[in-house]
Structure 1
Amino acid sequence: MKSLIKNIFSGAVVGCMILMTTACTIRISEDTFIVSDEQPAAYQTDFVVQLQQVMPNNIITPVSIDASEQVRLKGFYIDNPTSDTTLMFFQGNGMKIEPDSLSILTRLSELNTDIFIVDRRGLGASEGQPRIENLIADAQLQLDYLHQHYPTNKVIVHGYSLGSFIAAQLVKTNSVDALVLQGSATNVDDWIDEKTPWYLLFTRIEMPEDFRKADNEQVVAQYYQGPLLVIGAENDDQVPAELSEKLFDASQSEVKALIMVPNTGHQGMLDNAHAMSRYQAFVNNL
């Protein structure tokens, strides 16, 4: 998740001149919070070549999914011929497959699973205007597409940052073999509490109701009880490590693990060799 809240808060200081004595309201809309592009951009051949170079034994297939509002979602299915497990990866806010995901896809390929990744609506190569409601519906379409076109023995759903909320909502109503929440908050209210500077204590922050309905803590505490892996970073200034720990503690899963990556911020968690070793062990034990 990008430092959008920080920027919004900075602007709010200008609008609320006397915060210590006067209440002020910041209204955050889906349009301002969810990063989107003006128009989709097709994947470049050079990028696909780079993908193939970092995972030469895999078969990389472009995918196109018809979604609501006559929108087409674009992405890739990366087939590891030795695997019967597919990892569905949901990206962070503003994170495109090209050019942002080459590094993380390289790391995920080390798990020796198939990988299914789609640019979310309104970003990268995918069309449309994103809202929380249609992003969740699109995730269901992606899972249905996976089962229809690429039947697999096991499905791991991995959500990073904003993508963790989409991932959690998907497993709330679908049976999967494992859930991975990386750089994830418990819910939007906890996140706002952690990110609100002291000088905005008299400020009320209004978020769309759909944001509050997407509650990761509620999902792992009440709905999802399968294998869970929570990955956080000690120096994460976007989603404080305390929220990853709170999410892990709330989980009712019998099989669960928490990886807290040292000396790392919101990005680069999977660049840590020890974290990837533990991730691999988690996958191997499914």
Structure 2
Amino acid sequence: MKKKLLVAALVATPVLTYAGVCGWMYAKQRDMLYLPQETKADAKQTDFGIARNGVMLNGWLVNIGQPGAVLYFGGNSERIEDRREDFAKWFPNSSTYLVPYRGYGASEGTPTQADILEDALAVFDQVQARQPHARIVVIGRSLGSAVASYVASKRPVAKLVLVTPFDSMANVAQAHYPWLPVKWILQDRYDQADYLAKYQGPLLIVRAGRDDVVPASSTDQLIASLPHAPQVLNLPRADHSTVATDRTYAKTLSTFVGSAVALP
């Protein structure tokens, strides 16, 4: 009897340990998913804002008064204000809006998928109200690619740029934590492939050949799921962090966005 109890205890211990780890990961997942710590900024340094259900989203507006419009959704730990100088040069005929997610930069609140996606629609609507005749190009990088894709599924986006995108956050997380039942416990899934299922507009996808954050298979699955073939820029020497420093990146985005402004 004692031997059976010992065997049962030995079997139960790793099972209970694994269950405990899964429970801890479930409780802490948003702390691990969202990384706003390095992006904090002073709201006094921003020049564009929008109120959302008692939360202020504070960001930056580049090239005020231009006929075109670009809306940029950044990566998970990206200081998007650092893109102002580049975007001013790359998109000279477009006013570019950079608004951090809630809890990021100078924006108030706490990030969740539901709030981030609804905030993104509100920001698009604000841009459209400010520039009712502009063709709005939406650019999203990494986490922002899913946000941009969601906006494109709900609003009249003229063109869409996805930088290091993925098919779903569940697949990305599963690749990083293969020993966890990620698809069962993940709350914020960002099912980007589903968002793009009916998008028919012009689409540019940028891939980093040495991406160590978004698995190549996740990007491949996204591309394979699209209703029509996108334009793809492959940057074989770039990784997830350096993709935007490639000269080809700047030239390709500038041409892609600039042509939207030139269209009637």
Asked whether the two chains share a fold, i.e. TM above 0.5, the reply is yes
TM-score range for the pair, normalised by the shorter chain length: 0.7 to 0.9
Q: Which structure carries more relative contact order (alpha carbon 8 Å, separation 6+)?
A: 1
Alignment of 1:139-178 (within 5 A): 139-178=120-159
C-alpha contact (below 8 Å) 2:43/2:58 kept by paired residues: no
Alignment of 1:6-155 (within 5 A): 25=22, 26-27=25-26, 29-36=29-36, 41-43=41-43, 62-68=47-53, 70-79=54-63, 83-97=66-80, 101-102=81-82, 104-109=83-88, 110-112=90-92, 113-155=94-136
Segments of 5+ residues of structure 2 without an aligned counterpart are 1-12
The equivalent of 1:226 in structure 2 is: 201
Quick check: 105-114 or 162-171, which moved more? 105-114
How far apart are residue 268 of structure 1 and its match? 2.1
Query: C-alpha root-mean-square deviation of aligned residues, in Å?
Result: 2.8
Number of matched pairs? 240
How far apart are residue 44 of structure 1 and its match? 6.5
Cα distance change of structure 1 residues 269 and 39 upon mapping to structure 2, 3 Å threshold? closer
Quick check: 264-273 or 144-153, which moved more? 144-153
The equivalent of 1:276 in structure 2 is: 250
Cα distance between partner residues in 1 of 2:148 and 2:51? 20
How far apart are residue 92 of structure 1 and its match? 1.2
Cα distance between partner residues in 1 of 2:168 and 2:114? 16
What whole-Å deviation, never above 9, does each CA across 1:170-199 have from its counterpart, x for those lacking one?
1111111011111111102321333235xx
The alignment-based identity, stated in percent, is 23
Select the structure of larger CA radius of gyration. 2
TM-score, normalised by the number of residues in structure 2: 0.79
C-alpha contact (below 8 Å) 2:170/2:186 kept by paired residues: no
Q: Helix, strand or coil: the match of 2:48? A: strand
- Residue among 187, 210, 217 paired with 1:242: 217
Segments of 5+ residues of structure 1 without an aligned counterpart are 1-16, 49-61
Structure ranking higher in helix proportion: 2
C-alpha contact (below 8 Å) 1:227/1:253 kept by paired residues: no
What whole-Å deviation, never above 9, does each CA across 1:198-227 have from its counterpart, x for those lacking one?
xx3xx3224444x23x3111222x221111
Cα distance change of structure 1 residues 18 and 108 upon mapping to structure 2, 3 Å threshold? farther
